[in-house]
Amino acid sequence: MRTFQVEAVGEKAMSPASMHKVVIHKAGGYEQLKLETHPVPEPASREVLIRTEAVGVNYADICVRWGVYESARRFVGWPITPGFEYSGWVEDVGREVKNVRPGDAVFGVTLFNGYSTHVCAPEDLVWPKPQALDFEAAAGFLAVHLTAYHGLLQNVVIRPGMRVLVHSAGGGVGSAIVQLCKLHNLHVTGVVGRSHKVEYVRRLGADAVIDKSTQSLWDEAKRVCPDGYDLIFDANGPETLGQSYAHLKPTGKLLVYGFHSLLPKKGGRINYLKAALGMLKMPRFSPLSMTSDNKSVVAFNLSFLLPRADLLHAAVNDLTAWVEAGDIRLPKVRSFALEDVAQAHRVLESGETTGKLVLRTVPTIFSGAPHEVHI
């Protein structure tokens, strides 16, 4: 077990006007995750200040730490606090805020800054927390379910009985896609990379599960759907994109929302040679060939969707109704203390997880002395 020193910045203890947040000052491994003390921001006229209970951990946060997440480079740069989702209590509101008030239990999304005891967010990205979700489940709910909803219900037109293949079906986004597909009467084949995830994906409702650690992925995919798939969801990158496209039926659509095989699954640092080789293997989809094949490629990224509050509100309205009605199974949640953020990143990189990881921000054990983070 290795140990990193995470040094406090600012006051010795957190006063009512200060907060704790994880800050990354430059790209690198787990040692770049610094737990610091900073002033609590004051909300602008249309902003809400939330005292968080928990914050979601996503693979995108790891990409932010590595310095390869495009929206982080474009919108923030260094230093940066990762984190896209949270749950907690409204602590203060700007003078023009009308939909929430201090004391309300809420959850929401944010363009970074989530790994913190306080989040200041635009009012239109904050929603009442569903009663069916506790704070930890709520903190890990929105990012994966909004990604799944946008991919399935805002990018394509679906019809009952369509055949869908979902890569990484045991992960956060994958498990959300499986459930939304079954909610809309689609036939789902889930792909997993570890045998212990097979039963988990079956319980989510998948009609078939391919365990690529013990089965030939594409032989099984063809056996399940000999005529090809209407939709394939793929965040793997060059490892599977070419064959995913090849296994679409005419009019089929490949939905791309990540490139995980370009990046390491563990170890904390990028293998740049592997990433470069992966880029060379990346399929190039030509509009001319797609027209001849009668197939499409759709790509999207949730962090670039945040300016579209209209789409987000439509999605949250539906997702909240479904979770309150019990139509969506609550994600399996594993939680870590905020000061154990390095351990959470290591576990997520391992590829062994199912469901969601979150960081608990209350209570945070922290003082002005250097704090040890064990990984």
What's the CATH code of the domain at 287? 3.40.50.720
Boundary residue ending a domain (299, 324, 357):
299
Dist. CA 341–CA 344, nearest whole Å: 5
Dist. CA 246–CA 285, nearest whole Å: 11
Residue 148, domain member (yes or no): no
Beta bridge partners, 236, equal none
The total of structural domains in the chain comes to 2
Q: What is the pLDDT of residue 12?
A: 40
Residues 25 and 126 in one domain: yes
Q: What is the pLDDT of residue 241?
A: 96
Burial 273-309 (b: 16+ CB within 10 A, else e): eebeebeeeebebeeeeeeebebbbeeeebbebbeee
Residue 360, domain member (yes or no): yes
Contact call for residues 234 and 167 (beta carbons, < 8 A): yes
Among candidate residues 176, 60, 35, 52, the one with its CA nearest the CA of residue 106: 52
Residue tagged 């904390």 (tokens): 268
Contact call for residues 300 and 151 (beta carbons, < 8 A): yes
Residue 88, domain member (yes or no): yes
Instruction: Give the mean pLDDT per block of 10 residues along the chain (375 residues).
Output: 42 64 96 97 97 96 93 95 98 97 98 97 97 96 97 97 96 94 98 95 97 97 98 94 98 93 69 79 91 96 90 97 93 92 93 86 56 43
Residue 150, domain member (yes or no): no
Describe the chain by its helix, strand, coil percentages, rounded to 5: 35, 25, 40
Residues 289 and 311 in one domain: no
Boundary residue ending a domain (275, 299, 323):
299
Q: What is the pLDDT of residue 14?
A: 45
Residue 338, domain member (yes or no): yes
End-to-end CA distance of the chain: 6
> Which 3 state secondary structure label does DSSP give 232?
strand
Residue 23, domain member (yes or no): yes
Among candidate residues 51, 43, 44, the one with its CA nearest the CA of residue 14: 51
CA distances from 122 to 6, 34, 36, 71, 128 (A): 30, 26, 23, 18, 14
Residues 295 and 197 in one domain: yes
Residue 149, domain member (yes or no): no
What CATH number does residue 350 fall under? 3.90.180.10
Q: What is the pLDDT of residue 264?
A: 60
Residues 54 and 96 in one domain: yes
Q: What is the pLDDT of residue 280?
A: 82
Contact call for residues 164 and 231 (beta carbons, < 8 A): yes
Boundary residue ending a domain (299, 321, 352):
299
| Alpha carbon of residue 346 to chain centroid | 16
pLDDT tens, residue by residue, 60-87: 999 999 998 999 999 999 999 999 999 9
Q: What is the pLDDT of residue 267?
A: 66
